[in-house]
Structure 1
Amino acid sequence: MSTPGHWGEDGQDDGNILVLRSANFLKAGGLNYETAALRKFDAKKLVQKRLEPGDLLLERSGGSPAQPVGRVNRFDAQGDFSASNFLQILRVRDKVDDWFAYYLLDSFYAQGGTEHLQKATTGIRNLDFATYLATTIFLPPLDEQRRIAEVLRSADEAIRTAELAASGAKSARMALLADLLHRADWEPERALPSGWHTPLLDMMAKRGSGHTPSKQFSSYWNGDVKWISLQDTKRLDRVYVTDTAATITPEGLANSSAVLHPANTVVVSRDATVGRSAIMMSDMAVSQHFISYTCGPALSPLYLYYWLQRMKSVFERIGAGSTIKTIGLPFFKGLKIAIPDRAEQDWTAELLWQADSQVFAAEEAIDRLRLVKAAVSDDLLSGHIRVPA
């Protein structure tokens, strides 16, 4: 059975059904039932459009340039739910396992199967549903479908277990940051431990910035000098930055206000994604969107990195600008840091580094499991590998 979803009428006062939309599709898979919209259906639509456990929800309209239309999810809740008119409700036939059908359609989407089935109108992407339904698929006997689905559910369970481990590691890291580091003037209600002090950060590290060489001269670009820019957002907040999206040449460095900062310099973004930070693994330059700190002997670069991480909420709060958030230079000139002696800095930074290492290990485990699942899915759902009884 296949039927389009229905939006119904405003149900604020007398709603009788919860309607799921594309917005209820979770990035990691599954549905967020808590934010379903309360709507009102007439008696006929209630019967026609009510979801049953095992129904599949196919996104027929929506998507974006970075996210093709055609995502799919499996409904597995109890209660009165339906789907919006931007979704298609699919109910499998007797000789088709709903879990197998879900994994098949989800794999088709993940491999880009819907990209050529999109029709864009006024910013909304619509799925060519007739062509979608005409796609040839591998359909083994029902008992084998169930065995395949069980294998893939086991893979999903392993991924969820790894995600819980990663979430726990991240929570432990955040708790350590809050417990071990003080945010100086931004946390006056919390007394400094004995032996700590709050000097200007400029007294403990040499502050610098950067520049963007002219794009009019090709000889300034694609050289050997690593250059941190807003393109490197995803490389930050991972403790160390080892590579950059763009590089410049010594000529570009010499003919601009850019500066080559030494390894172990700490950088923090002051524009757009304010507060993201990292430590340079090698000599690098930065764009004007970053502040750099080259630490003196009394300040550990790793401690400074974690202190800046602790300050992220402050940076985000004070960032000004309607289009691009920016933190002005006067803020950094007056910024104070709360620090203990160097030995305690090193001890604190080491504890936090160990916590981060656990987070990174958990995230890498998730990535590996997802790669394994993708490979197994491709083999099982295409029939390249059969699953005998």
Structure 2
Amino acid sequence: MAKLIDITGKALSGEWGTDDEKGIGIPVLRTTNFTNEGVVDYTDVVTRIITKKNISEKYLKPGDIIIEKSGGSDKQPVGRVIYFNGPEKKYLFNNFTGLLRVKEPNKWFPKYVFYSLFGNYRRGGTLPFENKTTGLHNLKTDDYVSRYEVKEAKYSKQIEISEYLDKLYFIIKMREKELVELDTLIKARFIELFEDGQSPIRTVEELCSEIVDCPHT
């Protein structure tokens, strides 16, 4: 086992800045851009005016892992992670999140490290590091990063495991899409069969030869 702190170092804190009234700001990912599947949701990305210097290292790049530091609820623990695979030097992340970046990507495959953290979260591994204050759930991020351990494996094995899990995710998403399409088809067929306006409206008495009244209790 290897300590996460040795793999990524401490989580970098995010930036929030000020309101972008002119629409010229920097896109910033928030916890609302997190999904429970570990992927980024880009449908509602805000832009912010950030004037701090020396933020170049905080621009996200492919392979980065963003961890939720504040958020969650009684039903959803804080500590979710998402894997960033978007364009480089475009997005920042806000102050309710932290950045974990693998220091030696030729030794530790970033997606493998992500899946380790993702699986740990799904098993409830962040719960012991959760701190609740006035309804807000906070992750003791430094404590968590310093104590969490990733299973060591050959680099080729890390890639193999990651690709296998990627394929599983793809299959699951395809099945979900097929189920949605099937549900739509079934609803359409019901409309065709019962609401096409051509079939005569019949009463229950006309359709049934006998109606039996069940005993009442």
Give the TM-score, by structure 2 length: 0.81
1:165 counterpart = 2:74: no
More contact order relative to length (CA 8 Å, sep ≥ 6): 2
Letter in 2 for 1:144: K
1:108 maps to 2:120: yes
* Whole-angstrom distance in 2 between the partners of 1:15 and 1:70: 31
Q: Once the 2 structures are TM-superposed, how far is the Cα of residue 5 of structure 1 from its aligned partner? A: 1.2
Q: Partner residue of 1:136? A: 149
Do the aligned partners of 2:70 and 2:137 also contact (CA within 8 Å) in 1?
yes
Inter-partner Cα distance in structure 1 for 2:133 and 2:44: 27
d(CA) in 2 for partners of 1:8 and 1:145? 37
Deviation at 1:46, TM superposition (A): 4.5
CA distance in 2, matches of 1:54, 1:178: 47
Q: 1:298 aligns with which of 199, 207, 213?
A: 207
Matched, 1:179 2:158: no
Name the SS of the counterpart of 2:118 in structure 1. helix
2:197 is aligned to 192
Residue 36 (structure 2) aligns with: 27
Point out the more displaced range, 148-157 or 62-71.
148-157
What's the CA shift string for 1:152-185, capped at 9, x where partnerless? 1122122122222222212212322443343xxx
CA distance in 2 between counterparts of 1:195 and 1:110 reads: 54
Alpha-carbon distance in 2 for matches of 1:102, 1:86: 19
Aligned to 1:145: 158
Q: Which has the larger radius of gyration?
A: 1
* TM-score, normalization by structure 1: 0.47
Quote how far apart the aligned CAs of 1:43 are.
Answer: 5.7
The 3 A distance-change label for structure 1 pair 178 and 192 is: closer
| 1:327-342 map, 5 Å | none
Contact kept? 1:12, 1:38, Cα under 8 Å: no
Give the RMSD, CA atoms, in angstroms.
Answer: 2.2
Whether 2:74 is the aligned partner of 1:65: answer yes
> 2:212 is matched with which residue?
none
Does the CA contact (< 8 Å) of 2:15 and 2:93 recur in 1?
yes
| Structure 1 runs not aligned, ≥5 long | 183-190, 205-295, 300-389
Q: Give 1:28 deviation, angstroms.
A: 3.7
Match of 1:77 among 86, 110, 115: 86
Q: State the AA in 1 paired with 2:143.
A: T
CA deviation profile, 1:114-162 (whole Å, cap 9, x unmatched): 1111100011111111221112331223222112212211221221222
Residues paired across the two proteins, number: 195
**What is the DSSP-based 3-state SS (H/G/I as helix, E as strand, rest coil) of the residue aligned with 1:158?**
helix
Name stretches of at least 5 consecutive residues in structure 2 with no aligned partner.
1-8, 209-217
User: Distance in 1 between the 2:130 and 2:182 partners?
Assistant: 40
Q: 1:117 and 2:129 equivalent?
A: yes
For the structure 1 residues 146 and 96, does the alpha-carbon distance in structure 2 shift closer, same or farther, using more than 3 Å as the test? same
Question: Cα distance 1:196–1:161, how it changes in 2: closer, same or farther (>3 A)?
Answer: same
- Whole-angstrom distance in 2 between the partners of 1:177 and 1:11: 49
Structure 1 residues 85 and 179: alpha-carbon distance in aligned structure 2, compared to 1, 3 A threshold: farther
Deviation, structure 1 residue 39: 1.1
